[in-house]
Each structure stands twice: as structure tokens, then as C-alpha cells.
Chains A and B, each alone.
Chain A
Amino acid sequence: MAPKICALCRKSKAMLKRPKTGQQICKDCFFYVFETEVHNTIIQAKLFKPGDRVAIGASGGKDSTVLAYVMKTLNERYQYGLDLFLLSIDEGITGYRDDSLETVKRNQQQYDMPLKILSYDELYGWTMDAIVSQVGRKNNCTFCGVFRRQALDRGAAMLNVDHIVTGHNADDIAETVLMNIMRGDIARLGRCTSICTQGEDTIRRSKPFKYAYEKEIVMYAYFKKLDYFSTECIYSPDAYRGHARVFLKDLEAARPSAIIDIIHSGEAFEIKDEVKATQKLQQTCQRCGYMSSNALCKACTLLEGLERGMAESGITDRARKRLEAEGPAPDNIRTIPFFNPPSGQPVVTVEAPS
């Protein structure tokens, strides 16, 4: 059988079937369209301006590894004029994060970008290993997720960057749309398809891979021979994949455009005005100054529970009431340093590539 010719350049031999469009294309055209689409996303949403300091949230996984590579490529090709940094969070999970942080350190060398690693231990005084030893494996992901979000913002503030970019891809966003509908989380549903989020005091956070299929990210890493670390977190070995994720994969198999179609749907609707009026207003945490929906932010609530030996208090209402019944928080517990938005000067030195 004669080799298939690339549907785009009509010159080279087709090497892959593109998951997003089903077209049979060559490797070079795949690199070109993948990168150009990310560029289109960046330009369309006006994500950056020349001179911006941008931190790439780097976990050492496929999404952030490819993101770092593509951001560097596009920054040079289209002369965005960005100062790029790598920002990693070390949750303190022995045997899991140690290896993936090695990947990030390699990326630092390969892409010639300064790297900052911020640990939970440094910020909260607790590693995930220590948290799991107290709370067990059931709810540890709640702590990890809440702490990571704050840690990224705080790391970015230390680096004095204007912007954090994360490797959330189209599959993640489509899955979030479905999840939020199924659990009735109207507030998150309203904002989960936004490419860029920014509160009054928080650092801009955006997702340049918003329209990039997970499979294409893997394909890109494979053909570019980018190495990344892929493992399940040891504290969630049977990770709850979520009904939405399994369902989404089935939809994608039936019609690959389903992922983009869900994102388009999510972008086309919004919460009715009368519902918006009933939503909680954003405020500032009284203890640490981070954005919060309540007097205390979620991270401070969780940390107080850990410090007072009542970790469940951040998880269930009953445990929370028990904690409150014991009186106010003692003065000697560890708290999170007060959050100061970027001041104009980096407050930490970053590891420059050697």
C-alpha cells in the first residue's frame, strides 16, 4: 500500500493520525500546528505583554515539561519578550516527588531557565508524609490540593512574577466542566473554562494548553524526545479517576471533537444573573492574607486542624464544630506567613542554570 501523504503539507509521509482532527499528518506539520495553536491561544487571550515575568508551574510531569519547552520555543519564535522561570512545589512525598523534581532540574539545565522549588515543609511546616501520618490516606488529597494552590501563588510572589502558567490541558478542562455540572458547583462551573483567572490580590494564572489534547501533548513529548516523569502519587495508588474522566475518555473515543465541544459549550454559557447575586463574595483571610470565601482560608483551617491534632476539622462540619467548642486557636501554633502580593523585587534567589 502506498504511504499516506500528509493532509497539511501534501509533501511528506504522514506519520500520525492527529487526535484532535483525525487528519493524517507528518511529524513536522504536527509540531507546527501544535505550537501555532498554542500561540493562537496566547495571542487571542492577550495573555502576556513584553517584559512580563512568567513562572511555569513545573511538576516534572508531561504537561508541564511540554509547556516549558513550548513556552521557550514560542517566546523565541514570536519574540514575546518574556522572562521565564520554573516554579516547582515539593510536597514532601518520599519516593514520588524526589524523582519528578530531578526531571524539573534537568529541564532547568536544558531550557536555561531559573528554577525555584518551594516545599510544603518550608511554607507550612508540614510535609505530605507527616500529614498522611496524622490524617491517614483517606483525605490527604484535600490537604495537598489546597496547599499546592497557595504554594504556587506564594512561590510566584517570592519570585516577583506577574503570571503563572500551568499545564492544564483540554481534557482537564472538559472533565472539570462535566464534574462541576454533576456536583452542582455553579461557582466553579462559571469560571472553569476561563483561560486566565485573577482575583484582586492574586497573581494572574493561565492555561496556554487550554485547547491542547492530552494525547497530543504526549505525542509531542514522544516525537520531541522530551523526558518526563510519570507515576501515580503513592498516597493515592488507586487514584479515584472520577466518573467524569472515564466518561470523557469514552466520549473522545466515540467522537474526538467531544473534548473541544465540551469546552466550547462551557464557554458559551454563563450563570444567570439572579444566581450570581446569591454567591459568596471573595474576601481576605484574617490570619494569612490570602484570598478566601470565609474569615479563614481553607489552608489556614486545615493547618490549624493539623497543629491542634484535629485534622478532620478541615474536612467535616462535625469535626469543625468540635474544634470550635475547644475554644480559640492557641497562640503557639504554626501559621502560614502573611501573603504579600508581588512587591516589585524578588524576595528569594532562584537557582540559575549552571
Chain B
Amino acid sequence: MTSCGNPNVEKDALMERRPKYDGKTKICVKCKENQGNVVIRHAVYCKSCFFPLVQTRFKRTLEPSINPAPDGPRRKALRAAGSLAVGFSGGTCSMTLLDLVAKTYLTTRPTGNESMKGGTDHPRNSERGVWKGKPTVCYVEVCGAFSGQIDQTEVIRAIVERYPNCPFEFIPLRLEDSFNPSWWSSVGGGNAVDSARSFGLDISDEELRLTHISQSTPPDSSALTALKAYLSSVPTLTAVNSTIQTLIRLLLFHTAAAHNASHLLLGTSLTSLSVNLISGIAQGSGFAVAEEAKEEWTPRPARGLPVRVVRPLRDVGVKECAIWNWWAGLHPVDRPWYPSGAGKNAVDSLTRDFIFGLETDYPATVSTIARTCGKLASKEDSDERCILCERPAQRRVQDWKAQISIRSYSDATPAVSGITKPTHLSDDEISNLTQAKQESKPEPSLAPYLCYACHTTLTSRSIRGMTAPLSAQRAKETPLPMWVRSTLDGVVAKDSVDSEMIQSKKLTSQDIKSQIEQYLIDE
């Protein structure tokens, strides 16, 4: 920063407002004949050119990733390895996506003899689609997370099923399914009645220790109760929103994998992509920034195909989606996700307000954000994946955090000694502060299995304190989503075995005797 506090020492730093429409012409820039109906990024389009414009952008993004070998020759044949799943929320962009998928790939051909000719129009090709089987549309109902919200599953079902000949199979999901053993079993995750089922999370502790849920816990562990307990235990509104996003994402992934889908399409528009990118960066997920636009997810435990997650509207702004819906007669479902007043206190909703504001005044900035982030890659390779969000994770993020913010003297033991110790503390006092940690028994913790962003979600507190105070017992036994439990079952058990192998302990004669007691004869 300059000493005058002015960031615009360079001309480029000034984001000068440019008129949205210069008023010079009202003729469509595409056909150059019709009167324009809409201004998109400073250019005028007529209604009849608008639809192919959006459809072309949609296909240009989606089609290179359809064939198993991406970016291969695709003019000849688009053949996906598996089926298609569409994540549908009923919102503006989601509605456009579903309409585009239906109109581009699932329209039934006319049955008249005139149209049944040779080539690609030959009758034998009429049944061959790009994807195998019937495409599925997955909807995650989030009303369980908030009180007073209406279940809109049937409204969404009606929207999905109104397309001619019902080209989609509708799969309703609920946010609480993330904690539901039956759902987990139905998507091939396995039997949840395993040892890891007893793991809970001590969210009151920054080290995120895993606790064994006591047998005396009341049997109220229904999925909805578990979801509510989980959401009420995360420390900030930012964390609540981010958790809901993660749960929806993983519910869609696992469901898509269970239906043998090779592609999962999400209705992320250019505007929402920019929001997600900036919001993700502001929440510390820079390592996985490339995943925000395009990712390939392999299910754990291994089953089905790797799911290629594509956002085919990532070159189409939210305004264009709204115009598409308006002219196509589609009515998005109003889904007030966030409790009122939450917008000002959460990173994602602040980002959304900021980016939507930019799109109004500086439309080019929104696409600049997406283009700039498209040129970024992770600094280091990592085959680690976060146990919670299942995105690539860096190693040693906790060490980095401890280095730059000292949260306890016990973590900074080597530095807290001699002339480098705090001047107001005596050697004994320092020793007492550091001893507690050294003597405590290491317990399994969730922290080493988390990416930076998820670790921050679970530990970063607001200056105002917790979202809602939790009882000590509830905070120590926060339930975990099914996929986390399942993976923990493997890794914690393995780590426990490893640590047993390397732990050494001097045995007393009583210890030794207890091991061979049954072989000793009373004297």
C-alpha cells in the first residue's frame, strides 16, 4: 500500500464505470437485422439470436468433457462413459440448466416418415443418447436446516416432470440424509453400523478431538437431530452456510455415483462461479481453486465411475439465465435460504452481495474473476483429500496456523524459554502452562484429515462469539456426516494400529506378570 493509503497508484486499479449500453445502435449485433431486445455485456441481441447464443456457450463448455478422453475429437460422436445426473435447486440458473439439457440432448425426434431419413437421423440412432440410461435430476431439500421453511420437494418434482415424455428420473434428497445410515447404505457406502459410528467430534476444542459417543447418549440420534446438532455446533454463520454447501455437494456426488453417473451437471453461472471463487478464497480454499470450476471426484469407498462435475453455465451470467427463463416461460422457485439478517455476517453472502453489485456496475469484472482464477493451479501436488469436503488438501496446515497465530504457550514450547519467554511470567508459570499439554494423552483428532478451509470452518470463531451456545455435552459429541464416519473408520483404526506399533512404555513387573498370569502356578 502506498503511504497515502491510496490503492490506485496504477491506472488499472481504478475500476472506471463504463456505460452498460452506449445507445449507438439498437440492431442485434448477431443477425444485424432485428431490433435488439437485450443488452449483454455491452452488446445488443434480439430474442431469436439470444437462445442460440446461450445454447452455444452451454455446449462449448460441456461437450469437450463428455467423452471419457476429454477434449478429444467430439464432432463424430459424443458418448459418455456412464449416465447423467443433474443437480437441481429450482433456482434461476438451475432452471436454465435443466431446460438447456432437455432441449439440447433429450428432445424426442418427430415420428413422421418425412423426418426419418438416413445419417444421424436414421431410426437406429433415435434411441442412442449421449449418456447411458435415463438422466437423473437430484434435488436436496434444505428445509430441515432452518425452522419455519416449507418443504418444496413436490413443487420441484412437478417442475422436473413437466417435460414431455418425462425424460428425467427425479431423485429427492434431504440435507439430513448426510447423517442417515439408510441413505448411506442405499448409495453403496456400506453398512454404517460399524465401529466408527461411535465417533463424535469435540468442537469446543480447537484441536477437534474425536470422542467416543457414550452409550448413555439418549437414542435421539435421528438424521434430522444429528444435522441440527452439527449445524448448531459450527462456530460462525459463515461456517453454517459453508457446511450446508458442502453437505449438498457431497450428497449429490454420492447419489450420482450410486446411479453410475459419469457426469454431474451443476447450474453454476458465471456470476455464481465468481461468487464461489472469491468466497472460497476468502475462506482459505485457494489450494482447491481450480476445483471450483471443474472437478473430477472418485467415490470413497470405491464404487461406480469417477464423477466428472461440470458447470456448463460458467460462461453465462445470471442475468442471461433470468432472461432465458423469462422468455422460455420458466418460473424459478423462490428459495430464501438464509435466515433473515444473516447476509451481513457471513463471508459467502457478503461476497454474493459484492459480486452481484459488481455485475450491475462493472459487468466485465465478474468474468475477469473467473478468467483469472482459471489461470491458477495448486502450488504443490497432493494426493491427500479432505475427509469432509473431499477436495485436495495440503499437508501440515495446522503447523502453518500455529506458526502465524500463537493460540497457546503449550504449542510454542521451544520459543517460550530463557530470554525469549514472556517477561511477566516466571519459569515455573511457563513450565505449568506447557506441562499440561506434554502430559496429556494424545487422542485421535479430526484436524489432520481436514483441508485448510474445512479446518477453518470448524475452528475459526467470530469476534462476537458462538452462533448459539452449546451445552458442554453436545459440543463434545457433535455427530459427523456419514462419509466422514466411513473414512474415519479406516484411517483412525489404521493410525491407532500404527501408533501402537511405535509407542514404547516401560513395563512394571506387575504389567509383565499380568500378561503371563494364566501361565503361572500359585506358589
Contact = CB atoms under 8 A, between A and B. Distances in A.
Interface of A: 8-12, 17, 19-23, 26, 28-29, 32-33, 36-37, 39-41, 44, 59, 61, 77-78, 100, 139, 141-142, 144-146, 148, 168, 172, 175, 177-186, 189, 211, 232-233, 235-236, 239-245, 247, 250-251, 253-258, 260-262, 264-273, 275, 315
B338 to A, nearest CB: 13
B276 interface: no
Contacts of A260: 284, 404-405
A44 B402 CA distance: 12
A261 to B, nearest CB: 4
B405 A183 contact: no
A242 B8 contact: yes
Contact of B425 (A9, A232, A247, A267): A9
B404 A211 contact: yes
A173 to B, nearest CB: 9
Contact of A233 (B5, B236, B283): B5
B283 A261 contact: yes
B502 to A, nearest CB: 28
A142 B9 contact: yes
Interface residues on B, range: 35 or more
A195 to B, nearest CB: 11
Given A148-B2, A175-B7, A268 B394 contact: yes
Interface string B357-391: 01000000100110111011111000000000000
B425 A255 contact: no
Interface of B: 1-15, 236-238, 277-278, 280-287, 289-290, 344-347, 350-351, 354, 358, 365, 368-369, 371-373, 375-379, 394, 397, 400, 403-409, 412, 415, 419-420, 422-425, 429, 433, 452-453, 456, 460-463
Given A186-B372, A242-B13, A40 B422 contact: no
Name the residue among A10, A11, A168, A182 with the largest chain B CB count within 10 angstroms. A182
A76 to B, nearest CB: 10
A240 B6 contact: yes
A23 B429 CA distance: 20
A179 B369 CA distance: 10
A186 B12 CA distance: 13
A245 B7 contact: yes
Given A183-B12, A265-B287, A315-B11, A272 B372 contact: no
Nearest to A269: B376
A256 to B, nearest CB: 6
Contacts of A267: 286, 379
Given A21-B407, A243-B15, A247-B354, 5 more contacts: A21-B405, A28-B424, A236-B4, A241-B7, A262-B284
B452 A268 contact: yes
28 contacts: A8-B409, A9-B409, A9-B424, A12-B424, A26-B424, A32-B423, A36-B420, A37-B405, A142-B9, A181-B368, A182-B372, A183-B15, A186-B372, A232-B5, A233-B3, A235-B4, A236-B4, A244-B7, A253-B463, A254-B346, A261-B453, A262-B282, A265-B281, A265-B287, A269-B287, A269-B379, A270-B377, A272-B376
